[in-house]
Amino acid sequence: MNGDDASSSDKPTPSKRDEYVPISGLTGFEKWRRTMAFLTGIGISEGDRARELANVQINNCEADKHYLMQASPSVVFMLKHLKVAGCELPPSNIVCAPCEGPLSHVSGFVPDDNAILLCAGRFWSRKHLEQSMVHEMMHFYDNCRFKVKWDDLRHHACSEIRANNLSGDCSFLRQLRRAEPGFFKKHQECVRSRAILSVSQNPNCPDVATAERAVNEVWDSCFPDTRPFDEVCWSHTLLTCLRLTPF
């Protein structure tokens, strides 16, 4: 899972929604009336207004998702590499939905369904969504190529290290632009702390100390592993980072 504070295999759950006809499915006067009611809050129940907001958020998420699948170098790269690996990821398997649980949980990989969940309304920008998609696609890649056992803390830790290192979650480029000293060390610290927090949320992990031990045990082998990238791509606009590596 990917979030503002952590990522884990403890996936967010889509919230249940009653049958509801959204504004986008209406026409004429009724569409105008419902739009005004939604904007003003007059003549609409809180429940219906919440449903409409969720629908707007889902539509926005879907639009950005499809845009990134066509225009983002990193997302397109991952899609192509998944296909080469025999693990094609169709748009229908990247699902935008309202989520329950902590707001810091913004996305998740669902191994049993080979699907990625994007929590509609929880992304503050298209870039944030892009990084979250790449993060979950790294889990998808690991699950396909390396047959990850998600109940094994070492397996989980390795995938979290790789996903946080390669997705842009730890904002190396922002540190570089600020010319902060020791940015590589800070990047490593960010990757490590996020991986530990994610593994600590694994149902099979009893405490944070156990999660930290699992991350430390696989760090030296998993942090340098940049597959399918040739190298760590600190900025996913750098096309030189996006070369296919040989299998």
DSSP-derived letter for residue 2 is: E
Nearest Cα neighbor of 172 from 218, 108, 232, 111 is 232
CA distances from 38 to 4, 30, 49, 89, 242 (A): 29, 12, 6, 36, 44
Concerning whether 136 is annotated as a catalytic residue, the answer is yes
Task: Spell out where the chain has E strands.
Answer: 2-3, 94-97, 105-110, 115-119
- Kindly state the helix (H) or strand (E) to which residue 146 belongs, with its residue range: helix 126-146
Q: How far is it, in rounded angstroms, from Cα 136 to Cα 141? A: 9
Which entry of 30, 46, 52, 136 is annotated as an active-site residue? 136
Q: Are 155 and 149 in contact (CB under 8 A)?
A: yes
Q: Which of 144, 55, 218 is nearest to 136 (CA)?
A: 144
Q: Which residues are known to be catalytic?
A: 136
